Structure 1
C-alpha cells in the first residue's frame, strides 16, 4: 500500500471537505481517504501508484482548490 499526504488550499467548510473526499474516492486505486479540514490536507491510501500530477489536476479542477504539495508518507 502507498500512503500520500496532500496539502490543499481553498478548503473552508464541510462542503469543501466532502467535495475533495468524493474527488479522491473517484480514483480507482484509492482504498482509503481522510480529509482534515483544520489542517487543510488529505491522506490517501492507494493499492498501486498514481501519478501526483493526476491527483493534483483532479483536485484543482474540482472547485476553488489548489494542491500545494503531495508527499509519500510512511505509517
Structure 2
C-alpha cells in the first residue's frame, strides 16, 4: 500500500496587551499596529483554528523533498 507524508497546520492566535499614550483611540490603534515589539506575546491555544492540509507528498518522510501532490479541495 502506498505511503504519503501529509503536512497539516492550524492557525494559532498570538496577542499582546500594551498601553499606549495617544490623543484618540484611532491614534492608539495606529501605534499598536506599528509597534514591532512582540517580546511579551501570548498564545491563545483555546481559540486555535481548525486543522487543514498544507501539503502532501508520495513516500515516507517525503515533505518538501519532491513535487507536492495536487489534491482536489474537500469539505
TM-score (norm 1): 0.26
TM-score (norm 2): 0.26
Instruction: Considering fraction of residues, name the structure with more strand.
Output: 1
Instruction: Considering fraction of residues, name the structure with more helix.
Output: 1
